[in-house]
Amino acid sequence: MEWFDLFFPHDEGVPLNQFPAVYVHAMVRLIIFLIVFLSPTSSIAGDSPRFRINEDGTIEVWITSYTREQTPEENVAANIEVVTREQIEKIPATNAAEVLQFIPGVYVEFNGGLGSQATASIQGSSFSPVPEVAVYQDGVPLNMLANPVTNLSFIPVSSIERIEVYKGAASSAWGTALGGVINIITREPNPNKLFSGTVQSSYGDFSTLRSSGSVSGTVDRFGYFISVDHDETAGVAPHMSSLQDAVYAKFNYRIGDSGRLNFVVNHDEGKRENPSPLLTGRYNYWEYFHQNRTYERLLYETSLPNNITYTIEGRHQEFGLIDDYRFILKPQRRGWDYAEELYGISSRISHDLNDKNRFVLGFDGDWGTYAYSLYDRDYPTRNWAVYANDTLKVGDFALTGGVRYDNNLDFGSEVSPMGGVVYHLPWYEALVRAQVSRGFAAPPPGLIHDPTVGNEDLMAETAVNYQLGAEIHPIKALKLEINFFRADISNFISFDQAVYKWKNIEDVTRQGIEARASTNFNLGTSNSLKISFGETFVDVENQKTGEVVKDVPRQILDVSVSHSYKQFTQSITGKCIDNNSSFPETRDEIFVFDYLAKLKLPSPGMNLTPSLFFAVHNMTNAPYIYRKVFPQPGRWIEGGVSCEF
């Protein structure tokens, strides 16, 4: 144990999970040790690439979320959707929620209009009581500890390079992710300029002001990227205002010829009003939330001889949420407050054999505490895991197998295996992919430890998930995709009125189909047209009663058209949702379209590129509403200016 004590000294009389700060200091020592002893003097280091240009000129896109290491998209058996920064810039979106709502198979629930809380479901996965979708940014888990939801409207797009959405059980690589993973990958420093940047500001209806700016560059071995954001709005109805600010920074330092030290720090905070209690007619107050999050991540990665790469990282996160009740005729009072702190360690090593075989071995560990004012004490959390996966390319086949073991303080352990295959057909760039995986969703600690309705015997929800998909390019400009999915879920958590506690009492089956057709026409020099149409159908059934589960969207249609000609770009995106609602006030199955136009202006010199943009949200003023307590905006307009330098 001498090597362990060198990096992880601790008091033998106290459990390790009560010393998270020790682990952070230990991680710093360990990274310094690895920098000194593992950094080779050969090979070429660089920021993690997201694609590779092959000898024939084709672009090979790499996916990170599949195995936790970069895998060529053509070898990925899972159903993973990638949204690039180029695509993000062609839709009127300022946060992750507004981007994700246009992805087939993804449903984003907005608890109101602009700035309201937004959470995501994938292929009919559960929002509550057990959120089944895990959200990560920079490898940092953003789901709350006590109630693992993530407010996606608090994640600005200014720092996002791409979003990878892993649809279906992703537990073999990520742990508790029965419904899938939203993996947000942030922007890297500009490697080609000493100093560059962007500023943008817009103003629209409901007194909506959105501003952002970023600077980026590389000086010798040091690279930097810094962004700031400010959003505010009066809201689409009384008591629906919001205010959000965010600061993000990433710093890279190259070590030797093949190592990189990376440090990230993020801080966001905001205030928002929620009129839902008032709109029910049963209460005489509305809610005023104050949320803040800060996280830091220190990462070291290096390339070793024999095509071996090694990565180790330490992370720390603090999150707070306060809910005040505001009354019309009485002073406000505190409803509740919540705070958490989380420390984590991850490490992985991979071996790549001539691009034909890649083996990955990794470890994740997270230790934290959360405090909720309605509980009588603070609660610790702890989860550690080891995982391994192997991808083998054999002729026209790509085979992947993986397994992960999770050990959790609250519910024990889970083993999550996965097997997948991709077969490349010899014509029309066609392929067929299939994957079978076991996933789990950890019971929220809040449901375990709640002093009134909690149940310390809760088990994780588990499922066997099946994915079968195909894609083909019958002509160069046309791509057709189809994917079938099914998940048989056991130990589904529901509230048992008989004993007035949460219990594992139901089994549920989720199944459905996704289909999409997309085109990309090159109409000449600087003239292109892209069209996409998709449909998702989901059926969620209670295995015991045979009844279809209500309030899970059954059908989602999405369409997008984007046209670029020289300096002018315009796009229309639309969505139509059948909410399968149990609420009588629901008005859905209506297309809601958003329009965005951008015009690059002539440069005034000094390496400046100004642009004007104009957006019309809900162009047709569609009267869409899911619940009366979540008012949605009608048609609203915003316009602004941006400048690159």
pLDDT of residue 606: 77
- Say which residue, 355 or 415, is predicted with more confidence: 415
Lowest-confidence range among 376-380, 402-406, 462-466, 494-498?
Answer: 494-498
**Residue 2 DSSP label:** H
What is the Cα 482 distance to its own chain's centre? 23
Pairwise pLDDT comparison (54 vs 422), residue with the higher score: 422
**CA distance linking residue 92 with residue 157, whole number of Å:** 11
Alpha-carbon distance of 522 to 520, in angstroms, equals 7
The answer to whether 496 touches 478, Cβ cutoff 8 Å, is no
At residue 408, the pLDDT reads: 96
9 pLDDT band (50/70/90 cuts)? very low
Q: Is 171 helix (H, G, I), strand (E, B) or coil?
A: helix
What token pair was written down for 601?
């202006």
* 485 exposure class (CB count in 10 Å sphere: 0-12, 13-18, 19+): buried
Gap between the Cα atoms of 344 and 141, Å rounded: 9
Output the six-digit token pair for 294: 């800060």
Compute the radius of gyration of the chain from its Cα atoms.
24
Q: Which amino acid is at 170?
A: A
Instruction: Round to whole Å and give the CA distance between 187 and 579.
Output: 35
Q: Is-contact 121 107, C-beta < 8 A?
A: yes
The tens digit of pLDDT for each residue in 517-561 reads 999 999 888 899 999 999 999 999 999 899 999 999 999 999 999
Mean pLDDT of 151-156: 94
pLDDT digits (tens, 9 = 90+) for 263-275: 999 999 999 999 9
Q: Which two tokens stand for residue 259?
A: 């190592």
**What mean pLDDT comes out for the span 367-386?**
95
Q: Which pLDDT band holds residue 58 (cuts at 50, 70, 90)?
A: very low
Query: What does the pLDDT read at residue 113?
Result: 79
pLDDT higher than 60, residue 124 = yes
Closest CA to 117 of 5, 261, 256, 275: 275
Give residue 39's pLDDT. 46
Instruction: Tell me the range of 529-538, 603-612, 623-632 where mean pLDDT is highest.
Output: 529-538
What does the block give as tokens for 205?
A: 């209806």
47 or 107: which leads in pLDDT: 107
Residue 340 has pLDDT above 90, yes or no: yes
Q: Which two tokens stand for residue 524?
A: 């000449």
Geometric angle at alpha carbon 499, from 495 and 503, rounded to 5°: 40
Helices assigned H by DSSP within 146-302: 171-174, 276-279
Answer whether residue 279 shows pLDDT above 50: yes
Position 36 scores a pLDDT of 46
Q: What is the mean pLDDT of residues 301-318?
A: 95
* Average pLDDT for 610-620: 96
What is the distance between the alpha carbons of residues 573 and 595, in angstroms, rounded to a whole number? Answer: 7
Q: How far apart are CA 600 and CA 613, in angstroms?
A: 9
28 CB contacts (<8 Å, ≥6 apart)?
A: 298, 314
Share of the chain above pLDDT 70, in %: 91
How high is the pLDDT of residue 458?
94
Tell me what pLDDT residue 40 has. 44
DSSP state, residue 41: S
So what's the pLDDT on residue 26?
52
Please say if the pLDDT value at position 412 is more than 60. Answer: yes
pLDDT at 334 over 70: yes
The model's confidence at residue 18, banded by pLDDT at 50, 70 and 90, is very low
53 — pLDDT class (breaks 50, 70, 90):
very low
Model pTM score: 0.91
Within 8 A by CB and 6+ apart from 51, the residues are 59, 60, 61, 62
Helices and strands in the chain: count of H runs, count of E runs? 7, 32
Amino acid at 296: E
CA distances 553 to 135, 180, 206, 388, Å, are: 21, 17, 29, 35
Residues 6+ away with beta carbon under 8 Å from 476: none
Locate the DSSP E strands across 177-241. Answer: 180-186, 196-204, 208-219, 222-233
pLDDT of residue 395: 94
3-state secondary structure (DSSP) of residue 352: strand
Regarding predicted confidence, which is higher, 415 or 15? Answer: 415
* Average per-residue pLDDT for the chain: 90
Nearest to 154 by CA among 271, 262, 76: 271
Q: Is the per-residue pLDDT at 87 higher than 70?
A: yes
Q: Are strands 180-186 and 133-137 parallel, antiparallel or unpaired?
A: parallel
Tokens for 456, please give them: 């310390």
Go through the chain and tell me how many residues it has. 645
Domain 39-644, CATH 2.40.170.20 — does that match?
yes
DSSP H or E run through 33: helix 20-38
Confidence of residue 60 (pLDDT cuts 50, 70, 90): low
Beta bridge partners, 106, equal: 122
What residues pair up with 470 in beta bridges, in sequence order?
432, 482
Give yes or no for a contact between 635 and 620, defined as CB atoms under 8 angstroms apart: yes
pLDDT in tens, 559-600: 999 999 999 999 999 999 999 999 999 999 999 999 999 999
User: For 211-229, how does the pLDDT look when each residue is reduced to its tens digit (9 = 90+)?
Assistant: 999 999 999 999 999 999 9
Residue 30: per-residue pLDDT: 52
Q: What percent of the chain is modeled with pLDDT above 90?
A: 79
Helix (H) or strand (E) holding 98: helix 96-100
Spatial CA neighbour of 345 closest among 388, 370, 316 = 316
Lookup result for tokens 């990565």: 311
